[in-house]
Homo-oligomer: A and B are copies of this chain.
Amino acid sequence: MVKSALLSEDGEITITDLDEPELESGSVLVTTLFSEVCGTDVHLVHNQLIGVPYPIIPGHVSTGIIEKMNGTVREIDDCVLEIGDVITFLDVHETCNACWYCLVAKETTRCPKRKVYGITYSANDGLLGGWSEKIYLKPGVKILKLPSVEFAKTFIAGGCGLPTAIHAIQRAHIQLGDTVVIQGSGPVGLMCAILAKQSGAFKVILVGGPKQRLNIAREFGITETINIDKLSSKDRLKQILQLTNYRGADVVVEATGVPSAVKEGFDMIRDGGTYVIVGQYTDAGDITINPHLDINKKHLTVKGSWGSDFSHFYLAVNFIKTYHNTYPWAKMISGEYSLDEVPQALQQVMNHSVLKAVISPNK
């Protein structure tokens, strides 16, 4: 039997023993190492996503050790996987490679058949989420090897926020020398700040809070921070203008989840600049904008960034491999929790008392 944490429609967590599945040809059974508690999981607790087949096993970004396989299974570039390999996998599955979005627009994040581990699979369909002792990787799930258990933990420190931020920063088209403002100091915002710096920005300004998160950001090399608990919206804007020669930033990336931040962000951008909106993952309300002043006269470019695909996941793994020793990754993880401690983990993420909680189902 496999111990798993199930989330119900009304936000309850139940620890349940589920059957170990029979392995289809091409499938893999993984012993879970670490699985993330992501902001999305908070939305799932509050039933804010559409079409979620509760009960589910949450945990979409996870790492583990291969325990069993049926047949030969390969990583990208045809490397054969073996029992005992430390791996992670792309939570997104079943993009069809046959529809208009997959093949013509080449935007697989908008494929209507797309499924996501830990979010759009039901617990009734199997061990398809990371808050469980074992995870069942269906045939065709995209797997990548990690060098060691230590890297597996670092990868979870990056977590869902890393590929999400990679996609957002790609959309931002940062140019050498740009000044970039990141709104939001959660996992996505912090990763965006680091990646903006790595993508050619000469100055990165992180607007967020609370203070502890900004302190962590500084340890990741983000020296310019603005604490929203200390400065009003008006004063934040004033400071941004002072830091940008009174023009505004070349690029602003929104990673807050708060609609009012979007309106505030428009004012932080220079004429002809770019605004990427990645934090509005659920419908948290409307905003009022002035299409003349905010967009047309400013000659602005505004881009939404939705989800991520294999390329972002692949880059995330490579990023961790390359910069494993560069950044203090351990600072990202505020606590490790067993399956029985999932409710506490969720609670602490919800009240922002931790930056990131990690579930270790076999600890």
Contacts and interface: CB of A to CB of B under 8 A. Distances in A.
Contacts of A285: 290
Contact of A295 (B198, B302, B318, B319): B302
Nearest to A311: B104
A200 B198 contact: yes
A1 interface: no
A271 interface: yes
Interface stretch (A30-38, A58-66, A94-102): A94-102
Count copies of this chain in the complex.
4
B176 A311 contact: no
Contacts of A271: 101, 107, 110, 306
A330 interface: no
Given A97-B97, A272-B107, A283 B293 contact: yes
Interface stretch (A16-24, A273-281, A350-358): A273-281
Interface of A: 74, 76-78, 97-101, 103-107, 109-110, 142, 166, 169-170, 175-177, 195, 198-200, 202-203, 245, 247, 254, 259, 262, 270-272, 277-293, 295-306, 309-311, 314-315, 318-319, 322
Given A107-B299, A110-B299, A280-B296, 15 more contacts: A100-B245, A103-B142, A103-B310, A170-B176, A177-B314, A199-B199, A254-B291, A280-B295, A286-B289, A286-B290, A287-B291, A288-B288, A295-B302, A295-B303, A298-B306
27 contacts: A76-B99, A77-B99, A100-B245, A104-B311, A107-B271, A176-B315, A177-B314, A177-B319, A198-B200, A199-B200, A202-B318, A277-B295, A278-B296, A280-B291, A280-B292, A280-B297, A282-B292, A283-B293, A285-B290, A286-B289, A286-B290, A288-B288, A295-B302, A297-B304, A298-B304, A300-B303, A301-B303
